[in-house]
């Protein structure tokens, strides 16, 4: 890449830094959340929301639990104006929710804004003007004192309009493009506005310090916030707010460090919608706090439904890897990850009261409405035996022995690799059934009879190449007696017989499922699975399955030789 020398660091460090925020480990209480979806988010949409869509989105924000919602720029368009009037006149704003409106520091815009606010029970009037070096030099071409005068005159007019307008109003000021402003000047202009509004216990003022454009690493933004928080006048009656954008991909980090540095209020949007790379994502911020055991006081317990409404109304899409809400964020394809997750989930079943600590899962997906089935483990050619076994257990109650999972895992991965596709649970079950369950070729089990229980002598009936035969055998148990009969008849040798079984509920009926594995003379394991209402019969069917595989392998070797 060329021309790197034309880029300079356009931000300003505060003249005094203490960095006390660095001593804090985590955010121990939620901020005041202010959604700016309906203003900052809406103005960034290719197709802005209609009046009806904005009303539905407002209700979504209320349902999530926002107590402050910026509803628009009412002087900007008739839709914005009509939306605010509809909220007030139709009494759609809950008593515990404040609406917020944005206004430039221009007389006719401020006056139009208060016309729209008439009758509002609780409203924040948000005044802003740009303060950065770039804006002063290139856009306004005014010196610092003229920029301060724009802010002060707007603050005075807001105060006058509020005094003669029906409603209950709180004031907020933002030095827009704060991050590109000299800190001493940002402090001076905020304090001049505060001198006009005279904050008090009954009249708290919000000073919002936006990363209108994110220009620095997050620790610099935190130092800027801490400096302002420490030096603002009337500090005990001033609420310090942050409004990070995501130009550098650090919006969440900017907000979190800003809160450590003294901010107690955050403006952002659901899923980070907003101009350019977007606003800070409040979903991620809130659930990050939740992962530390702090109640964010926003309800994202039905994240899929929230995401669906958001996508329908904004026509935007939440990426598959978006934290918490993305389709794949709780999903593991990697074999080692799947194995660790499966073992972690089993551990929680053993010790359900322990703190959440499942490997690779920051929070319990169920807490935000995600399901284990289909969300946590999905299968492709990168998957491993643990994940594949987990799918069979979760979807079909088949609890394969550890040794069998490895054998089956290779079969599944081979199919996925050749298809070059993810496999659904029903496909995995079909592979298992076709390759392991009640295998009847080349030898079919027809039945058995025990004639002497002292040495477990048995007569077993089989069909081999379409010819029915009876075999006799004895052993130290029923399954061993059948095994001995088959080994003798087929002139095969195997050892290390492994046997597992469990009940399997299938609708209104209960079946037994058995797994049998044997090692051939080369030490290779061959597996079979039997399904039958009778536990002994299921065991025999499983034995036939692995012996049929062993016979097939032998036949293939003879052909190749």
Q: What share of the chain is helix, strand, coil (3-state, %, to 5)?
A: 45, 20, 35
CA angle, 421 then 426 then 348, to 5°:
95
Q: Are the CB atoms for 500 and 512 separated by under 8 Å?
A: no
Residue 348, sorted as left (phi over 0), alpha (psi -120 to 50) or beta, turns out to be alpha
Render each residue's pLDDT in the chain as its tens digit; 561 residues: 888 888 888 899 999 888 899 999 999 999 999 999 999 999 999 999 999 999 999 999 999 999 999 999 999 989 999 999 999 999 999 999 999 999 999 999 999 999 999 999 999 999 999 999 999 999 999 999 999 999 999 999 999 999 999 999 999 999 999 999 999 999 999 999 999 999 999 999 999 999 999 999 999 999 999 999 999 999 999 999 999 999 999 999 999 999 999 999 999 999 999 999 999 999 999 999 999 999 999 999 999 999 999 999 999 999 999 999 999 999 888 878 888 988 898 899 899 888 999 999 999 999 999 887 666 888 887 887 888 888 898 889 999 998 899 889 888 988 988 899 889 999 999 999 999 999 999 999 999 988 776 778 889 999 988 899 999 989 888 899 999 989 888 888 888 899 999 998 755 567 999 999 999 888 889 999 999 999 999 999 999 999 998 887 765 554 444
SS3 per-residue string spanning 392-444: HHHHHCCCCCHHHHHHHHHHHHHHHHHHCCCECHHHHHHHHHHHHECCCCCEE
Nearest residue to 484 (alpha-carbon basis) of 499, 494, 474: 474
- Enumerate the β-bridge partners of residue 176: 130
Q: Under a CB-based contact definition with an 8 Å cutoff, are residues 133 and 177 in contact?
A: no
Contacts 24+ apart (CB under 8 A), 506-513: 509/533, 511/538, 512/537, 512/538, 513/398, 513/538
**pTM, 2 dp:** 0.83
User: Could you give all domains of the chain from N- to C-terminal order, each with its CATH number?
Assistant: 30-314 (3.20.20.70), 335-424 (no CATH), 443-560 (3.30.160.270)
Number of other residues whose CB lies within 10 A of the CB of residue 140: 14
What does DSSP assign to residue 250? -
Q: Which residues contact 201 (CB under 8 A, 6 or more apart)?
A: 237
């Amino acid at each position: 890449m060329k021309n790197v020398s034309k880029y300079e660091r356009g931000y300003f460090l505060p003249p005094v830094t203490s960095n006390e925020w660095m001593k804090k480990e985590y955010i121990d209480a939620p901020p005041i959340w202010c959604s700016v979806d309906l203003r900052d988010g809406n103005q960034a949409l290719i197709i802005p929301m209609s009046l009806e869509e904005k009303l539905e989105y407002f209700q979504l924000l209320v349902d999530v639990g926002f107590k402050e919602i910026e509803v628009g720029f009412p002087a900007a368009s008739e839709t914005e104006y009509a939306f605010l009037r509809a909220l007030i006149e139709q009494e759609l704003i809950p008593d515990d929710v404040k609406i917020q409106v944005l206004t430039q520091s221009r007389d006719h815009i401020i006056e139009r804004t208060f016309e729209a606010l008439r009758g509002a029970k609780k409203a924040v009037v948000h005044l802003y003007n740009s303060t950065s070096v770039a804006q002063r030099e290139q856009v306004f071409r005014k010196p610092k004192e003229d920029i301060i005068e724009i802010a002060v005159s707007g603050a005075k007019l807001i105060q006058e309009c509020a005094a003669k307008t029906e409603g209950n109003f709180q004031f907020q000021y933002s030095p827009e493009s704060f991050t590109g402003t000299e800190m001493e000047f940002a402090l001076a202009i905020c304090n001049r506005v505060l001198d006009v509004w005279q904050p008090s216990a009954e009249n708290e003022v919000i000073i919002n310090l936006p990363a209108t454009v994110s220009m620095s690493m997050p620790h610099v933004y935190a130092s800027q916030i801490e400096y302002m928080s420490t030096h603002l006048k009337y500090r005990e009656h001033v609420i310090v707010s942050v409004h990070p954008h995501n130009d550098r991909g650090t919006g969440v980090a900017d907000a979190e460090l800003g809160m450590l540095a003294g901010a107690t209020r955050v403006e952002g949007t659901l899923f980070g919608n907003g101009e350019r790379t977007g606003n800070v994502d409040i979903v991620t911020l809130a659930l990050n706090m939740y992962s530390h055991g702090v109640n964010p006081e926003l309800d994202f317990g039905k994240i899929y439904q929230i995401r669906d409404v958001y996508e329908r109304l904004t026509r935007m899409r939440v990426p598959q890897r978006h934290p918490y809400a993305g389709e794949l964020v709780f999903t593991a394809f990697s074999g080692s990850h799947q194995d660790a997750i499966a073992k972690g989930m089993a551990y929680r079943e053993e010790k359900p009261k322990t703190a959440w600590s499942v490997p690779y899962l920051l929070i319990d997906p169920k807490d935000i409405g995600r399901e284990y089935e289909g969300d946590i483990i999905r299968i492709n050619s990168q998957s491993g035996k643990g994940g594949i076994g987990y799918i069979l257990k979760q979807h079909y109650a088949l609890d394969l022995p550890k040794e069998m999972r490895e054998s089956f895992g290779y079969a599944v991965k081979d199919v996925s690799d050749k298809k070059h596709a993810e496999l659904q649970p029903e496909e995995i079950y079909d592979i298992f059934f076709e390759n392991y369950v009640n295998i009847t070729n080349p030898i079919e089990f027809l039945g058995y009879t025990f004639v002497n229980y002292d040495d477990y002598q048995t007569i077993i009936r089989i069909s081999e190449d379409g010819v029915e035969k009876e075999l006799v055998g004895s052993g130290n148990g029923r399954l061993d007696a059948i095994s001995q009969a088959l080994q003798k008849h087929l002139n095969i040798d195997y050892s290390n017989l492994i046997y597992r079984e469990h009940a399997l509920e299938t609708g209104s009926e209960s079946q037994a499922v058995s797994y049998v594995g044997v090692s051939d003379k080369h030490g290779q394991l061959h597996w079979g699975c039997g399904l039958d209402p009778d536990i002994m019969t299921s065991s025999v069917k499983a034995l036939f399955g692995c012996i049929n595989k062993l016979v097939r392998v032998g036949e293939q070797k003879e052909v190749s030789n």
